[in-house]
Amino acid sequence: MAIKKEFLDLLACPQCRHALRENGGGLECVKCRVLYPVKDGIPVLLPDAAAPAGAAASGGANDGEKA
Ligand SMILES: [Zn+2]
């Protein structure tokens, strides 16, 4: 689910206020090197939800939260 660029421009990393970019279905802060999940089209910009940005690309089997 793509995020509109105008919307993305309004968002910022909650930790460093740096801009975010789309990365594999999430939003990556290129400064913190963390990836925020996007659930149902809603970015979850919580430090607790952030994952290391490299993890998604390193072939992990992590498919999200287990309820
Ligand atoms: Zn950041």
Question: pTM here?
Answer: 0.72
Write the DSSP symbol of residue 19. Answer: B
Nearest to 16 by CA among 5, 28, 26: 28
Is residue 62 one of the residues assigned to a domain? no
* Domain that residue 50 falls in: 5-57
- According to DSSP, the β-strands at 42-43 and 20-23 are unpaired
Counted domains in the chain: 1
> Which residues are close to ligand 1, an ion, with C-beta < 5 A?
13, 15-16, 18, 29, 31-32
Ligand 1 centroid vs 21 CA: distance in angstroms? 11
Question: Within 1-67, where are the H helices?
Answer: 5-10
CA distance 20 to 5: 11
Cα separation, 31 vs 20, whole angstroms: 9
Distance from residue 36's CA to the centre of ligand 1 (Å):
10
pLDDT, tens digit, 9 for 90 and up, residues 13-52: 999 999 999 998 899 999 999 999 999 988 999 999 999 9
For position 23, which CATH number holds? Answer: 2.20.25.10
